[in-house]
Amino acid sequence: MACGSCGTSENGVPRGCKSNGNCGTGTCGSGSEKLAVFDWLSNMTLPSGQERFNIFEVRFKNGRKHFYKNVDNLPISMGDILAVEGNPGHDIGTVSLAGELVKVQMKKRKITADSEDIKKIYRKATQKDIDIWQTARAKETETQRRGREILGRLGLKMKLSDVEYQGDGNKATFYYTAEARVDFRQLIRDLASAFSIRVEMKQVGARQEAARLGGVGSCGRELCCSTWLTDFRKVTTSAARYQQLSLNPLKLAGQCGKLKCCLNFELDTYLDALKPFPKQDVVLKTEKGDAVFVKMDIFKKHLWYTYKEERFKWYRLTLEQVLEIVDLNKNNEKSISLEEYESDIEIPLKVDFEDAAGQDSLTRFDAPKKSKRKRNNRNKRNRKPVEAQVSATTAKKQQNRKPKNKNNQQNQPTNTTKKPRRNNRNRNNNRQKNGNNSEEK
């Protein structure tokens, strides 16, 4: 179900109520839909002569729920906005559950039908009631900000996490967390005079605070406490030890700073799997010496042991082999060495991923780059023989070259020694002399 403001327009564009899932007119988002219960008995008719259960479950801000009795037999269905009894005055909430499933929820919370905690339903909320309620809800953010300023001025060691106004706007509940006992009598006086309302202080734990604020966990999903988890069971480090997890507080702690609630989710499965395993302090007595426990793989049923005197080598054993050794030790008999037990284990080959083209290595692009130093050194070594080879080939070409003029060939000196190199100035002088000589001739 969703409210009309959260629907789509004529062009299919979502409208959105801009309240981030905390609107009071429907069941959308993680705010009003939080911890909602699906009524799977809504389409079933009651037996003849049986009246409908007249107690309803009403939801308020951040998933806070209470049970209220329909004294006047009003026609109420799920999703209706009601004005219910408050303390003092009245409060506004939305019906989250009706019918026979309310009995199941009351039994779960251990609340009887004649309990004093069940208050009355006054009426269905009018438009005036809804306007006052929305006006009070709009003041919660500013009230929380000013409340923190007053808290800082008084210097109290407490954290103000949330503020909730009552539906009639005459009362506000301030939720806070504190590690030690706090004297907030002066704080209540300052808050009452600043906002002209009735003030109620309510302390919550770190888990309840995280549930009210919400967020995303390290798994990438919304926090369990803010979506579906209703009871906060005690979580201890033994749950991490049974699951063979490293006792790293940074990884085991959630956003609330406490151990993650999800550590208890798979604990029963691990405890059932650990029943046939021997205790970790059991020492295996073999012919070679005593062996102690190192680690285990619970679901593969493999255990690693090492000798007390030779701890550098670990031996893999199956659960059946360890139980066999334990039975022999109970009868005051020593088993064979762990090397012989390990040789009997058949480890299946690991099947790697293959595609249509064949095996692809994940490190095929991680080939080491060749250093430029080696390449330069190699070029320097090969440079000398190459130069000698080039000079030899040029010498052969000069010998095989035919002279252009016979006179020049006759006048060529027989001496093979190289002539001294002349500069450009001497060349120009020689050319001028040669030119004068030709004119004189």
Q: Kindly report, residue by residue over 385-406, the tens digit of the pLDDT.
A: 545 555 556 665 566 555 555 4
CA distances (Å), origin 100, targets 1, 37, 42, 85, 403: 20, 12, 9, 23, 122
Q: What is the mean pLDDT of residues 91-95?
A: 93
Q: What is the mean pLDDT of residues 258-280?
A: 92
- pLDDT of amino acid 276: 92
Query: 91 and 119: one domain?
Result: yes
The residue from 82, 99, 123 where one domain ends is 123
β-bridge mates for residue 67, sequence order: 57
Query: 8 and 105: one domain?
Result: yes
Q: Kindly report, residue by residue over 103-120, the tens digit of the pLDDT.
A: 888 998 889 988 888 999
Q: What is the mean pLDDT of residues 242-268?
A: 90
Residue 421: pLDDT band with limits 50, 70, 90: low
Among 27-41, 258-272, 412-426, the minimum mean pLDDT is found in 412-426
Structure tokens given for 34: 């939080």
In a domain, 394, yes or no: no
Task: Note the pTM of the prediction, 2 decimals.
Answer: 0.61
Query: 297 and 333: one domain?
Result: yes
Query: 168 and 260: one domain?
Result: no
Query: 115 and 158: one domain?
Result: no
Residue 181 in contact with residue 170, Cβ under 8 Å?
no
Number of C-beta neighbours around residue 427 at 10 A:
10
Count how many Cα atoms sit within 13 Å of the Cα of residue 58 in the half-sphere of its side chain. 28
Place of tokens 């989710």: 265
State the average pLDDT for the chain.
79
10 DSSP 8-state letter: T
Residue 147 has pLDDT above 70, yes or no: yes
In a domain, 397, yes or no: no
Query: 244 and 288: one domain?
Result: no
Task: Determine phi and psi for 42, rounding to 5 degrees.
Answer: -70, -30
- pLDDT of amino acid 32: 44
Please list, in sequence order, all residues whose beta carbon lies within 8 angstroms of the beta carbon of residue 291, skipping any fewer than 6 positions away: 283, 284, 285, 305, 306, 307, 308, 315, 338
Among 67-76, 134-143, 265-274, 366-375, the minimum mean pLDDT is found in 366-375
- pLDDT of amino acid 381: 58
Query: 67 and 168: one domain?
Result: no
CA distance 63 to 60: 6
In a domain, 404, yes or no: no
How many domains, the chain?
A: 4
Number of C-beta neighbours around residue 302 at 10 A:
17
- pLDDT of amino acid 131: 94
Query: 83 and 24: one domain?
Result: yes
Structure tokens given for 189: 């006086």
Q: Residue 262: which domain range?
A: 233-272
CA distance 433 to 362: 80
Contacts 24+ apart (CB under 8 A), 180-187: 182/156, 182/157, 182/158, 183/156, 184/156, 184/158, 186/154, 187/150, 187/151, 187/154, 187/156
Query: 140 and 251: one domain?
Result: no
Please list, in sequence order, all residues whose beta carbon lies within 8 angstroms of the beta carbon of residue 40, skipping any fewer than 6 positions away: 101
CATH code, domain carrying 200: 3.30.300.20
